[in-house]
Amino acid sequence: MANRLLSVGSAFPEFKKTSVVSLEKGNEFYDITSEDHKNADKWMVMFWWPKDFTFVCPTEIAEFGKHVGDFADRDTILIGASTDSEYVHLAWRKNHDDLRDLQFPMLADTSKSLAEELGILEENEKIAYRVTYIVDPQGIIRWVSVNDLSVGRNVGEVIRVLDALQTDELCPCNWQKGEATLA
């Protein structure tokens, strides 16, 4: 089976999924939809990891957590996701020091329907690859990056690309926010 990755220029699929948003009893879960960021007129960064309770994943999730303010400053909703259940996400957050205080939702795609529609499932285990999407306020995918299961991503690069996309101008190689664009 070949993956058919949903890519740049495509509409991000519609979804409604349960996520973990808090460790506070009674407030742990919240349903997120594909309309939330559009209704708020914000960008969305959704990043996927293969499995909870593994080794590389918490390093990435914690790093995104360190930059949650940077995404908010850019009018961007940050969402982490995997095909694990909301209960597994909650248990992992409770049991991992680097994940307890996360300030972004951990989306649970237990049916794997969203991951399947995005074309990001690994063929044998049917777990998500390390994929990052940047979606504009109209719901159009503007950037996608895919890493193999064993390689973590660079959060700084996600922020750099988000900055470049938000200029709506031509940005040269290695462009950084504050530098001149080509347009």
- Tell me the catalytic residues: 57
Q: What pLDDT, on the 0 to 100 scale, is given for residue 95?
A: 87
CA dihedral 78, 52, 127, 141 (to 10 degrees): 0
Flag whether pLDDT at 141 surpasses 60: yes
Summarised one tens digit per residue, pLDDT across range 90-114 is 998 898 888 888 999 999 999 999 9
- Return the amino acid letter for 119: G
**pLDDT at site 1:** 47
Q: pLDDT tens-digit profile of 115-124? A: 999 999 999 9
Is residue 151 scored above 80 in pLDDT? yes
CB 127 within 8 A of CB 50: yes
| Average pLDDT value for residue range 141-155 | 93
C-alpha distances (whole Å) from 113 to each of 17, 83, 142 are: 10, 9, 21
At 149, list the tokens. Answer: 């299961």
Higher pLDDT, 132 or 89: 132
Least confident of 14-23, 28-37, 51-60, 151-160: 51-60
> Please, what's the b/e burial string for 147-177 (b: 16 or more CB within 10 A of its CB; e: otherwise)?
bebeebbebeebbbbbbbbbeeeebeeebee
The whole-model pTM stands at 0.94
pLDDT band at 52 (very low <50, low <70, confident <90, very high): confident
DSSP string, the chain: -------TTSBPPP-EEEEE--SSTT-SEEEEETHHHHHTT-EEEEEE-S-SS-SSHHHHHHHHHHTHHHHHHTTEEEEEEESS-HHHHHHHHHH-TTTTT--S-EEE-TT-HHHHHHT-B-TTT--B-EEEEEE-TTSBEEEEEEE-TT----HHHHHHHHHHHHHTS---TT--TTS----
What's the pLDDT at 59?
85
Mean pLDDT of 11-35: 95
Mean pLDDT value of segment 71-76: 98
**Distance between CA atoms of residues 102 and 93, nearest Å:** 8
Nearest to 19, CA basis, from 74, 76, 84: 84
Q: Is the pLDDT of residue 83 over 90?
A: yes
Within 13 A of 174's CA, how many CA atoms are on the CB side? 0
Q: State residue 92's pLDDT score.
A: 87
